[in-house]
Structure 1
C-alpha cells in the first residue's frame, strides 16, 4: 500500500476547498446573474410594450372623439331613417354628412394623415363613405359580408375595433373603429353604424419604436385571435397556437417554440382596445450576456484555480520542508548522532517546534553525557566493591537506560506532529495525556508501593500510544481477579513484557487471531503474575539461552573483543533483576515457550510485599 504523504494530503485538501469554493461561487453568481438578466429583459420588454400600448390607446382615443362627434350628429342619426328608395333624400343627407366630415377632420389636423376612410351605414342598406374629401357611393354600399360584420357590433355604444376594410386593396393595412348609432328619436333601437378606417402605416410608426434587436419582432392580436399587425402575421390562421397562448397568458410572460426557435413572448393587453400587444425575442439572444458571464466565470475560475494550486504547492512546501528536516534529524538522533536544526527566521509554530526539538536534543545529549560519566564512575566503584555490586549498578543504569528510549520517543513525537498538522481531533489529547502519564510513571525512583492496578494503567497508556503509532486496534485480555488488583508489585515490570511480546512474538504484524492475556494468582504464599501470548514462541536453543541468563543473573552481556555488546533480552533481564532487587534472589521472572505455540512469562513475588532494605 502506497504511503500517503503530508504534502499530498495538504495539496488534495486545498484542491477540494478551492474547487468547492469556485464551483459554489461561480454557480451562485451564474444563477443569480441569469435571473437578474432575465428579470431585466422582461422588465425592459414590458416597459417597451407598455409605452407602445399607452401611445396606441392615445391614438385610438383621439379617433373615438371623432366617432363620438359623428354618432351624436343629428344629420347622421336622421340618415339612419331615410327612405332607401328616395334618391333625393339620400343625396341631401349625404351632402350634409360630407360637409360635416370635412369640417370635423380638418379641425383635428393630427388625425388627417392616419384617417383612411369614414363611413356611415344604416340598417336600411344605404351608406355614405368619405375618403380624402370625396364621397363614394355604392348601391348597395357594401357587399353582404362587410355589412353583416358591421351590424354585429355591440349595441351598448362601446367602440369596437375590426380587422376589416371595405376595399380589398386596403386589406391588412387598415383597422376599422365601429360604433352603433341610434335614430333621431333616441329610442333603444340602434339604426346603423359609424365606422372609421385608420391607416396602420401611420400607427405602426409608434410600434416600430419598440426596439427588440436584430431577431426580435412585435405583433398585435385582437380578442378574437386575429392578427392585426404586422401584415405578414395576417397570413397565419386566426386563433392558432401562438394566438391562443397570447390570449390565455393575459399579461404574463411565456416561452414558445416559434419557427423552430425557442423564443420569449411578453404580452400586454390594452384595457381600451382589447388588443394584445406582444413583443418576442429569441431565448438565445437573451441568454447571450449570461453565456458571456458563464464563459468569463469559467476562464477566471480556471486561472484562479491554477494560481491557487501554485500557491497551495508553495504553501505546502513551506510547511512540509521543515517537518522533513525535523524527521531526518530525529532519525539521526535515533542513531546516536545529535542533529540540530537551524531555526533562524522561523517565528511561527513550526519554529517553536524546531526550537523544542533542539532543546530536547540538547537535554538528551547532556543527560546521556551525564549517564556515560556516571557509568564510568560506577565502573570504577565496581572494581572496588566487587562483581556483585558492579552488576547491581549496571542494573540500575540499564533501568535508567530503559526509561530513555530514543526510538520510542521519536516515533511518538513524529505521530503527534503529524496529528497536530493534519488533524484537529481528540487523538492528539489522548496520545499526549498517555505519554505524560507514562513519562511521569517512568521517572519515579522508588520501586516499591506499586499496585497491580498501577501497572495495568501504565500498560493501558502504552497501548494507547502503540495503537496510534501502528493504526491498528488490539486489546489485551486482563483476567486478574478484582481482589488482586491492589496487591503490591514492582514498578515498571509489566509494560516491558508487553512491549517484548509486540516486538518478538508477532514478527509479521498483529493479526485478528492473536491474543495477549494477563492473569494473577496466589498460591503457597507466593503472588504470581503471568503474561501469555499465542505468537511464534521461542526455539529451544533460544529458550535455553534465556533461562540460563535468568539463572546467572546476567543483566548486561559481556563486551566482545570489538567493543560491541549484544542487547538481546535486556528488557526481560531488567524485569528479573528489578524483582530480585526488591524481594530477594528467590524471586524473579521465569519463561515457558513452545515454538509456534506462544510464550508465557511468570513474575513470582511474595504474597505480601515487604521490601528488603539495602544497607
Structure 2
C-alpha cells in the first residue's frame, strides 16, 4: 500500500475544504438568486397583465359608451320598428343613420383604429352596416341568423355583451363584437333590434405589444367557455391555432390568478392570467422559462468560472503552504533517523518561534543531553580500565550515566507520529488542539530530560501518563480514559522516573492490535504489602501467548543487573519492559523490578515492585 505523505494530505484537505466551501456558497447563491429572480419575474408578469387588463377595460368601456350613444339615437330606435316591407322607411332611416355615422363615428374610427365596423340589426330582418364610410347590404338569411345569435347572447336592460363572432364569415376570428339591445321608440321593448360594434383584435393587441415580453413572449385571451378570443397564432394562417377547450385553456381557467408552469408545444412556459371583471375575459401572458431564468443561468456560469479560478489560486497557495510546513518536519524526521543510528545531528532553528520551532528546540536539547551522557559513559569506561583501585566508584558512575542515557531515550517513532498529527491539525483544525498537544509534548520532554536520579512520586508519573494520553488521543482520533484506582494515600509514594508511561505505551502497541473497542480498559492500581510498594497495570487486551510469556519472564530474569561482561550485548534498546525493569533494579537493587502475568486472549497484568520507603532514596544501589 502506497504511503501517504503529509504534503499530499495537506493538499487534499485544502482541496476538500475549498471545494466544499465554494460548492456550498455557489449552490446557495444560485438557488437563492434563482428564487428571487423567479419571484421578480412573476411579479413583473403580474404587473404587465394587470396593466394590459386595465388598458383593455378602458378601451372597451370607451366603446361601450359609444355603443350606447349609438343605440339611443332616435333614428336607430325608429329603424328597428319599421315594417319589413316598408322600403321608404328603410331608405329614410338608413340615410339618417349613415349621416349620423359620418358625423360622429368617423372621428371615433380615426381615433380608435381598433373599430372594424358597426351595424344595426332589427327583428324585421333589415340591417344597416357601416364600414369605412360605406353602407353595406347583407343577405337577409345571414342577417336573420346573426340577429338571433345577438339577441340570445345580449342581456336586457341596456347591458353590453362581448361576443366572439362577426356578421361576415371571413372576419370571424379576427374581430370581437360588442353588442347592446336597442330600446324601441315606445320605451317598452328591448327585443326589436341590436346595435353591434366589431373591434379588430389585431389593432387591440397593439395595446399589449407596448409591454416587452422578450423574444418569444405573447398575450392571448380566452373566455369562460375555454374559447380563444385572441391568440397570436390565429393571425398566421400557416400555423394551426389552439382549439376551444384544449388542455391549456382548461389549466388557465382552473389556475385562477395564480402563475403556473406548463409545457406548450414542447417548450416549458410560465403563464399568468387575470380575469377582467368588465369583459369576463381571461387575459393571459406567457413567456418561456428559459428566457425568464436566463439571468440565473448567467449567475450560475459566472459563479462556476469565478469558483474555478478561486480554486486554482487556493490550491496553488495550499501547495506552497504545505511545502513550508512539511520542509522542517522532514528535516526533523531525517535527523531523528540519524539519531537512531547514533549520528547526533542538530537542526538549525532558523529563528522559528511557533510550535514546530519549540519541538526542534526540544529535539536539539535532547540530542545534546544524549550525546553528553554517552560521552560520560565512555569516559567512565576508560577511567575504570585505567584505575582498578577506583573500580567501585567507576562502576557506580557508569551505571549513573547509563541510567540517565536510558532515561532520555524516548522512542523516536512516537515523536514522528506526534509531529505528523500536530501538522495535520495545523491544517484542518483550529490552534487549540495544536496548543494542547504541544504543551503536553513539552511537559513530557521536560520531564524526561531531567538528569537528577531522585525517585519521584506516583502523582508525578500519573501526570506524565496524562500528558501522554492527551497526545495519544489526538493520534488515534478518539478518547480513551484510564481507570486509575490508586488510593489517595499512595499518591506521594516514591518510585522511579519514566517507568509507568512506557508500560501504558506498551499496552497500546501490543494489547489492542485490532483497534480500541468500548469494552477495552486499562487499570492502574497501587498497594503496600510486606514492606513492599507495588504498582499494577492491567488490561483486557489480547494477552500474551504462553510461549511468549515464558520467553519474556526468562528475559526479565536474565536482565537483572550482573557483571559488566554479561550486559555488553544488551546495552542498547528503546523504552520497554526491559528498560523499566533494569532501571528499577539500578535504583532499588536486584530484588525488585517487573513481573508479568497473562492469559492468552483475555488479559495481561504487569506488577512493578519497589521497596516501601519513608523518605526519598538517593543514589543507586550496587548490585
- C-alpha distance in 2 between matches for 1:195 and 1:540: 120
- C-alpha distance in 2 between matches for 1:330 and 1:27: 48
**What are the equivalent positions in structure 2 for 1:432-511 lying under 5 Å apart?**
432-433=439-440, 436=443, 439-440=446-447, 443=450, 445=452, 447=454, 482=487, 485=490, 488-492=493-497, 494-495=499-500, 498=503
Structure 2 residue runs without a partner (length 5+): 236-240
Match of 1:82 in 2: 82
Cα separation, partners in 2 of 1:530 and 1:508, compared to 1, 3 Å:
same
- C-alpha distance in 1 between matches for 2:245 and 2:509: 94
How far the C-alpha of 1:100 sits from its partner, in A, is: 1.9
- C-alpha distance in 1 between matches for 2:553 and 2:84: 144
How far the C-alpha of 1:404 sits from its partner, in A, is: 1.8
The structure 2 residue matched to 1:403, chosen from 407, 414, 434, is 407
- C-alpha distance in 2 between matches for 1:174 and 1:510: 86
Cα separation, partners in 2 of 1:391 and 1:224, compared to 1, 3 Å:
same
Match of 1:12 in 2: 12
The structure 2 residue matched to 1:278, chosen from 284, 297, 304, is 284
CA RMSD of aligned residues (A): 4.8
Moved more, 252-261 or 359-368: 359-368
Cα separation, partners in 2 of 1:355 and 1:274, compared to 1, 3 Å:
same
CA contact (8 A) 2:333 2:416 kept: no
Cα separation, partners in 2 of 1:336 and 1:414, compared to 1, 3 Å:
farther
SS of the residue corresponding to residue 255 of structure 1 reads strand
Match of 1:258 in 2: 264
Moved more, 173-182 or 59-68: 59-68
- C-alpha distance in 2 between matches for 1:471 and 1:114: 81
User: Structure 1 length as normaliser, TM-score?
Assistant: 0.78
Match of 1:32 in 2: 32
1:386 and 2:390 are equivalent in the alignment: yes
SS of the residue corresponding to residue 284 of structure 2 reads strand
How far the C-alpha of 1:504 sits from its partner, in A, is: 11
Cα separation, partners in 2 of 1:147 and 1:368, compared to 1, 3 Å:
same
How far the C-alpha of 1:579 sits from its partner, in A, is: 0.9
- C-alpha distance in 2 between matches for 1:168 and 1:613: 128
**What are the equivalent positions in structure 2 for 1:272-351 lying under 5 Å apart?**
272-342=278-348, 344=350, 349=354
Structure 1 residue runs without a partner (length 5+): none
- C-alpha distance in 1 between matches for 2:24 and 2:502: 56
CA contact (8 A) 2:184 2:190 kept: yes
- C-alpha distance in 2 between matches for 1:588 and 1:119: 130
Structure with max Cα Rg: 1
SS of the residue corresponding to residue 267 of structure 1 reads strand
The structure 1 residue matched to 2:544, chosen from 535, 544, 549, is 535
CA contact (8 A) 1:119 1:128 kept: yes
Cα separation, partners in 2 of 1:103 and 1:528, compared to 1, 3 Å:
closer
CA contact (8 A) 1:98 1:130 kept: yes
- C-alpha distance in 2 between matches for 1:387 and 1:302: 76
CA contact (8 A) 2:499 2:580 kept: no
Match of 1:566 in 2: 571
- C-alpha distance in 2 between matches for 1:545 and 1:231: 102
How far the C-alpha of 1:545 sits from its partner, in A, is: 7.6
- CA-to-aligned-CA distance 1:101-154 (integer Å, 9 cap, x gap): 222223446258554432223344443333444444568475443111211211
- C-alpha distance in 1 between matches for 2:224 and 2:508: 95
User: Structure 2 length as normaliser, TM-score?
Assistant: 0.77
- C-alpha distance in 2 between matches for 1:43 and 1:484: 80
How far the C-alpha of 1:94 sits from its partner, in A, is: 2.9
CA contact (8 A) 2:74 2:185 kept: yes
How far the C-alpha of 1:53 sits from its partner, in A, is: 4.3
Match of 1:227 in 2: 228
Moved more, 564-573 or 275-284: 564-573
CA contact (8 A) 1:476 1:518 kept: no
SS of the residue corresponding to residue 155 of structure 1 reads coil
SS of the residue corresponding to residue 182 of structure 1 reads coil
CA contact (8 A) 1:116 1:131 kept: yes
- C-alpha distance in 2 between matches for 1:42 and 1:470: 56
CA contact (8 A) 1:518 1:529 kept: yes
Match of 2:372 in 1: 369
- CA-to-aligned-CA distance 1:364-420 (integer Å, 9 cap, x gap): 426743773597379649938632222222232223223322545845863674465
Cα separation, partners in 2 of 1:379 and 1:458, compared to 1, 3 Å:
farther
Cα separation, partners in 2 of 1:323 and 1:63, compared to 1, 3 Å:
same
- C-alpha distance in 1 between matches for 2:480 and 2:275: 80
- C-alpha distance in 1 between matches for 2:587 and 2:39: 87
How far the C-alpha of 1:156 sits from its partner, in A, is: 3.0
| Number of corresponding residues | 599
The structure 1 residue matched to 2:588, chosen from 569, 579, 596, is 579
Cα separation, partners in 2 of 1:118 and 1:511, compared to 1, 3 Å:
closer
